[in-house]
């Protein structure tokens, strides 16, 4: 239950959602509305994800939701929301309600000059990244909570003919937790002067930014950065970029938090469908390699990336998305907001600590006439600056969907993750391995209605859950 102070802090969330909607309506945006509803009966043999005294239960999952998308001459909005109501039939378990929300809005107040960007999210997450999890938010577990974020950012742009462009941006954002974690409000601003078309194949940029974070009952953090960037397009296929920077940060750390830095990267683009960027740099916390690769064909997409940067739990949550409004190929898509409320196991613990984040991701998607195959692999290592601990997560996922007939589809997903906490002062590390299997069939029984049967197996070092779901999913679109 949110405290009154948190309700006041969440007022900007309401503004983020309603302002783009009202402005978009005023400028004649074309709206698309999708209303969705799922009703499911679920049996589980381990509702509380307990190691012993596992309790089976049957519960009803009622999830209504909607997706609104609009785009006009000077405003656009993508908004997706769903509410999950869980009615447990056991006498000693109360009902439970979860909320999921993703809202992105952009309004152009002055033509080509003044813009307002807004975003808001609500999701469920793990309190302890090494604690028990079934992969979604349906269980009665003490290791689940909700987190909420908002961001409101006006931007002003000024062009100086064909020679340069100035961008000034200010942002106010917030991250809040329903149970554990330090709520925070952030303020950041940046100035960016970039070369214009007159520079030809050589471009330059000067950037200055500053961010201040106020935590509830915790010391504030400050991050400041100034950099000079230079780049040159040698040919259609080859490009070289480099930068010099100075960082002046103030946060709790056992080592230096400020210093000079540099980076150098080369980009190879053999075709409009393939791009590879490789680079290396040096900052006050060490070496910073970089990788950004993408390859797209008519039926497949392959992506891979690696980045080493300074981050914290609130910054990661502000950068995460709850619903995707594009598919794997970058095409517009309507998210299925009634899908299971997935809970990622690779989030940072909801603390105020700053860490060096080493993140590698790769994914592959193949579409054929009747099937879609997806595979992904991810690794993240968080090296905390103020403590003697490192938190890492390695995740792999393989999914396959196939249309068996004009009315029937099947799906199969295999998942594995290993979460580890390394402490130099401890005699042993904490490690948790988890395995999941999802298999199901769905059959269309109406123009926009389908019946779905799903089985899920979740297994970790000390917990096992079997779950069977029979549900009805329907939608209406305008």
Domain ranges of the chain: 4-477
Q: Are the CB atoms for 121 and 104 separated by under 8 Å?
A: no
From residue 296, give the alpha-carbon distance in Å to each of 275, 276, 293, 313, 377.
9, 12, 10, 32, 18
Torsion over CA: 199, 203, 204, 205 (sign) = positive
From residue 361, give the alpha-carbon distance in Å to each of 64, 288, 422.
32, 16, 22
Q: Are the CB atoms for 90 and 73 separated by under 8 Å?
A: no
Say what the pTM is.
0.88
- 344, burial (CB in 10 Å: exposed 0-12, middle 13-18, buried 19+): middle
From residue 38, give the alpha-carbon distance in Å to each of 83, 285, 409.
11, 48, 17
CA 241 distance to own-chain centroid: 28
Q: Which of the following CATH numbers is that of domain 4-477: 1.10.3470, 2.60.40, 3.30.1380, 2.40.170?
A: 2.40.170
CA 160 distance to own-chain centroid: 36
The whole-angstrom separation of Cα 359 and Cα 179 is 27
Torsion over CA: 137, 359, 383, 427 (sign) = positive
Q: And the tokens for 127?
A: 């309190």
Q: Are the CB atoms for 5 and 11 separated by under 8 Å?
A: no
pLDDT recorded at residue 142 = 84
Length of the chain: 478
Q: What is the pLDDT along the chain (478 residues), one digit of tens a residue?
A: 334 444 444 544 454 455 445 444 545 568 889 999 999 999 999 888 887 766 788 999 999 999 999 888 888 999 999 999 999 887 566 788 999 999 999 999 998 899 999 999 999 998 888 888 888 888 888 888 999 999 999 999 999 999 999 999 999 999 999 998 899 999 999 999 999 999 999 999 999 999 999 998 889 999 999 999 999 999 999 999 999 999 999 999 999 999 999 999 999 999 999 999 999 999 999 999 999 999 999 899 999 999 999 999 999 999 988 998 887 777 888 899 998 878 877 788 888 899 999 999 999 999 998 999 999 999 999 999 988 889 999 999 999 999 999 899 999 999 999 999 887 666 567 888 999 999 999 999 988 899 999 999 999 877 899 999 999 999 988 7
At 206 the three-state DSSP class reads strand
pLDDT recorded at residue 344 = 76
């Amino acid at each position: 239950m949110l405290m009154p102070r948190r309700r006041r802090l969440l007022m900007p969330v309401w503004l983020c959602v309603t302002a783009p909607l009202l402005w978009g309506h005023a400028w004649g945006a074309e709206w698309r509305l999708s209303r969705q509803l799922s009703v499911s009966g679920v049996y589980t043999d381990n509702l509380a994800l307990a190691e012993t005294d596992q309790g089976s239960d049957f519960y009803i999952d009622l999830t209504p939701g909607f997706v609104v998308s609009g785009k006009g001459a000077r405003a656009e909005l993508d908004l997706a929301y769903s509410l999950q109501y869980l009615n447990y039939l056991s006498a000693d378990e109360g009902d439970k309600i979860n909320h999921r929300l993703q809202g992105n809005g952009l309004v152009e107040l002055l033509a080509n000059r003044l813009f307002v960007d807004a975003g808001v999210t609500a999701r469920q997450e793990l309190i302890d990244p090494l604690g028990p999890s079934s992969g979604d938010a349906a269980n009665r577990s003490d290791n689940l909570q909700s987190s909420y974020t908002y961001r409101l950012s006006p931007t002003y742009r000024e062009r100086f003919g064909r020679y340069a462009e100035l961008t000034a941006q200010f942002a106010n954002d917030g991250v809040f937790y329903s149970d554990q974690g330090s709520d925070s409000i952030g303020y950041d601003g940046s100035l960016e002067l970039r070369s214009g078309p007159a520079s030809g194949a050589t471009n330059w940029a000067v950037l200055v930014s500053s961010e201040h974070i106020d935590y509830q009952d915790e010391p504030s953090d400050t991050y400041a950065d100034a950099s000079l960037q230079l780049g040159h397009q040698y040919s259609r296929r080859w490009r070289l970029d480099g930068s010099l920077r100075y960082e002046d940060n103030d946060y709790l750390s056992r080592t230096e938090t400020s210093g000079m830095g540099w980076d150098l990267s080369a980009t190879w683009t053999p075709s409009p469908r393939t791009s590879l960027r490789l680079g290396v740099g040096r900052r006050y916390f060490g070496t910073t390699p970089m990788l950004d690769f993408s390859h797209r064909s008519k039926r497949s997409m392959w992506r891979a990336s690696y980045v080493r940067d300074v981050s914290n739990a609130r910054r990661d949550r502000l950068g995460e998305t709850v619903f995707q409004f594009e598919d794997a190929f970058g095409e517009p898509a309507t998210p299925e907001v009634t899908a299971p409320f997935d809970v990622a196991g690779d989030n940072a613990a909801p603390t105020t600590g700053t860490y060096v984040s080493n993140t590698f991701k790769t994914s592959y998607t193949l579409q054929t006439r009747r099937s879609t195959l997806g595979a992904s692999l991810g690794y993240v290592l968080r090296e905390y600056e103020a403590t003697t601990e490192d938190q890492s997560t390695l995740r792999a996922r393989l999914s396959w969907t196939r249309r068996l007939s004009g009315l029937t589809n099947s799906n199969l997903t295999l998942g594995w993750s290993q979460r580890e906490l390394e402490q130099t002062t401890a005699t042993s590390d904490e490690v948790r391995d988890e395995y999941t299997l999802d298999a199901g069939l769905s059959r269309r029984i109406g123009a926009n209605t389908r019946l779905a049967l799903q089985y899920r197996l979740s297994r970790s070092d000390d917990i096992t859950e079997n779950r069977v779901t029979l549900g009805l999913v329907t939608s209406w679109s305008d």
